[in-house]
Amino acid sequence: MNVNGAISRIGAILAMVVMSSSPNHANAQTGVDTRAGATVQRAAYSTSRLQNRPDSAVTRDVRNALWRTPNLDASGIRVRARLGVVTLTGWVPDRRQIALAGNVSRSVRGVRSVSNQLTLRNRR
C-alpha cells in the first residue's frame, strides 16, 4: 500500500468515527437515545424538576428557615405551601420582620413564589 492509500483509509476511518459518535452527542443533549434501533426516553436534568418538591417538605423547610433566622420572631407566623407557592399568615412584632420573613421564605428550595400576608402586632 502506498502513502496516499494509507492516508485515505485513515481519513475514512476518522470520518466514520466522527459520524458514528455525533448522533449520540446530539441525543445526549435532547434526552433520546436511538442506538441499536431502540428509542429510549431519558429524564432530562432540569433545575425546574428539582424545584418540584412535596408541599409538606417545602412547608417544613420554610418553617425551619424562619426559626433559624436571627432577628426574626417566627412564633406568630403560619406557613402553607401549595405547588411551590408559600403563603405566610399571622403576625410579627416589627415591620422589618415582614420583609425579612418573605425574603427568607423565597430562598428555600422549591419555593416558586411567596404570598406574604403577615401583619404587624406588638408583643404583649
Q: What is the pLDDT of residue 124?
A: 58
Over residues 57-75, the mean pLDDT reads 97
Query: For 24-34, how does the pLDDT look when each residue is reduced to its tens digit (9 = 90+)?
Result: 444 444 444 44
Out of 3.30.1340, 3.90.320, 3.10.129, 1.10.10, select the CATH number for domain 50-120: 3.30.1340
Q: Please check whether residue 87 is in contact with residue 80, taking contact to mean a CB–CB distance below 8 angstroms.
A: yes
Q: Rounded distance, CA 120 to CA 93, Å?
A: 6
Q: How many CA atoms lie within 13 A of 24 on its CB side?
A: 7
pLDDT band for position 54 (cuts 50, 70, 90): very high
Q: Rounded distance, CA 66 to CA 100, Å?
A: 9
Comparing 107 with 49, the larger pLDDT belongs to: 107
For the chain, what percent of residues have pLDDT higher than 90?
Answer: 55
Residue boundaries of the structural domains of the chain: 3-44, 50-120
Over residues 75-101, the mean pLDDT reads 97
For the chain, what percent of residues have pLDDT higher than 70?
Answer: 63
Over residues 14-32, the mean pLDDT reads 51
In this structure, which amino acid lies at residue 123? R
Comparing 78 with 5, the larger pLDDT belongs to: 78
Q: Is the pLDDT of residue 91 over 80?
A: yes
